Amino acid sequence: MPATAQPSPSAAAPGASSSPDAATGANSSPDASTGASSSAETSSATTFAAANCPGCGEPLRGRVLLSSHDRLMGGPGDFAVLACRACGLASTQPRLRPEQFADYYPQVYYPERAERLSFAERLRLEWIVRLGPYRRLSRLRPGRMLDVGCGSGALLSTFAGHGWSVAGVEPSVEAAARARAAGIEMHNGTLDDAPWQGPTFDAIVFNHSLEHIPDPVASLRQAAALLREGGTLAVAVPNFDCWQRRLFGARWFQLDLPRHLQHMQTHTLAGLFERAGLRPVARTTVSMRPALLLSLQYAAFGRVRWNGRGLRLAAWAMAPLLWALDRFADGDCLHMFAVRRED
Ligand SMILES: [Zn+2]
């Protein structure tokens, strides 16, 4: 499930620009020390207040770092991000009920079509795989690869072009159908009901999907069980500990409440790995091209008003600047690699 959603202007929330939560960093948020008990009042037909942290399972008590509504799709409700006192993982409260996920993931959330990618998109994916954050996987001898939350399979198609035998898991019926149309072996569902048993894959990827999964530790544990000996797990998530999040606060595009259920940074993702029986072996960050321009629109208008080809061209033009910034500070996408712990 890519975070590179390309929202249409009509998808934005009417009146969102009147929201009072201006671009503030998490540390300057005034509403501190609110636990899960206060969020229980906001439980509804679409959401519920989680009693326990999705990372460590301890009762969820923590500081509210920031709060926002659904800026991308204009869905109902207000949501807070809490940092767990026990493990530090930031998570969204209240949380979407799983049966409501489809209503909050419209088609605009799956912008790429693996069966007919543009030249520019192919170029971007080739860069990601050969020279960018996934180059660590490209250096492995191609084997069997699984992408959990693969969307319409654009990343898998690229790896297939490099000799990998690929398979995907995707809960969206439409996105899974697109991936299947691109010739990818697909399971339309989740890891809970996936058909594979035991060590099957040499590489397993969660490309901007772990932040959407209600029980991330359980999914990572399932993935660890599917890894062959010496296999590599690769996770990419929005980096909660980046300058863009600190600058834009609740108007950081990659926050994407309420679809992002947890908000990770290096040590909290490493904690999830630890509890799932995985050992981190490498980490890198990179900035996602259009995200800065989208965050600027959230800061200026409260919603996305400018999108489409113009935005994509501007984002490409800004690529050298983002590349230079990434030399000095962590980018807004965190990539971590792990292997199964054998102790
Ligand atoms: Zn916790």
**Which structural domain, as residue segments, surrounds residue 63?**
9-104
Interval 239-260 mean pLDDT: 95
Q: Which of 104-108, 154-158, 242-246 has the lowest mean pLDDT?
A: 104-108
Identify the CATH number of the domain in which residue 190 sits.
3.40.50.150
Q: Which residue has the higher pLDDT, 343 or 48?
A: 48
Domain-located, residue 133: yes
| Nearest C-alpha neighbor of 77 from the set 54, 97, 99, 106 | 97
CA-based nearest residue to 289, from 179, 62, 127: 127
What distance lies between CA 26 and its chain's CA centroid? 19
Residues flanking ion ligand 1, Cβ below 5 Å: 53, 55-56, 84, 86-87, 89
Same domain, 138 and 175: yes
158 and 53 in a common domain: no
pLDDT (0 to 100) of residue 315: 87
4, part of any domain: no
Mean pLDDT estimate for the chain: 84
Are 24 and 136 within one domain? Answer: no
Q: Is 95 part of any domain? A: yes
Distance from residue 87's CA to the centre of ligand 1 (Å) = 4
Whether the predicted pLDDT of 36 surpasses 70: no
Residue 14 has pLDDT above 50, yes or no: no
Residue 1 lies in a domain: no
DSSP sequence for 170-218: -S-HHHHHHHHHTT-EEESS-GGG-S--SS-EEEEEEES-GGG-S-HHH
The whole-model pTM stands at 0.84
Distance CA 153, CA 337 (A): 20
Confidence category of residue 193, pLDDT binned at 50, 70, 90: very high
What is the average pLDDT across 175-181? Answer: 92
**pLDDT value for 29:** 34
CA of 83 to the centre of ligand 1 (A): 8
- Which of 2-11, 84-93, 177-186 comes out lowest in average pLDDT? 2-11
- Contact present, 298 and 22 (Cβ < 8 Å): no
Distance 229 CA to ligand 1 centre (A): 29
| Cα 60 to middle of ligand 1, angstroms | 7
Q: What is the pLDDT of residue 113?
A: 60
In the reported structure, the alpha carbon of residue 53 is separated from the centroid of ligand 1 by a whole-number distance in angstroms of 5
CA–CA distance, 28 with 164 (Å, rounded to integer): 46
Buried b or exposed e, range 316-343, using 16+ CB within 10 angstroms? eebeeebeebbeeebbbbbbbbbbbeee
Q: For residue 1, how far is its CA from the centre of ligand 1 (angstroms)?
A: 24
pLDDT digits 0-9 by tens, 94-150: 998 877 777 777 655 555 565 677 888 888 899 999 999 999 999 999 999 999 999
Q: How far is the CA of 122 from the centre of ligand 1 (A)?
A: 39
On whether both 148 and 277 belong to a single domain, the answer is: yes
Whole-number Å distance, alpha carbon 203 to ligand 1 midpoint, is: 27
Task: Report pLDDT digits (tens) over 62-107.
Answer: 889 999 999 988 888 899 999 999 999 999 999 988 777 777 776 5
Question: What angle (nearest 5°) sits at the alpha carbon of residue 183, between those of residues 177 and 185?
Answer: 75
CA of 289 to the centre of ligand 1 (A): 31
Q: Which of 78, 104, 130 is the endpoint of a domain?
A: 104
Q: Of 69, 104, 139, which residue constitutes the final position of a domain?
A: 104
**pLDDT value of residue 42:** 52
pLDDT of residue 111: 53
**Domain end among 104, 119, 152:** 104
Task: pLDDT band for 210, please (50, 70, 90 cuts).
Answer: very high
64 and 31 in contact (C-beta within 8 Å)? Answer: yes
- Inside any domain, residue 99: yes
pLDDT at 105: 73
Tokens standing for residue 133: 């954050």
In a domain, 3, yes or no: no
Output the CA 51–ligand 1 centroid distance in Å.
Answer: 11
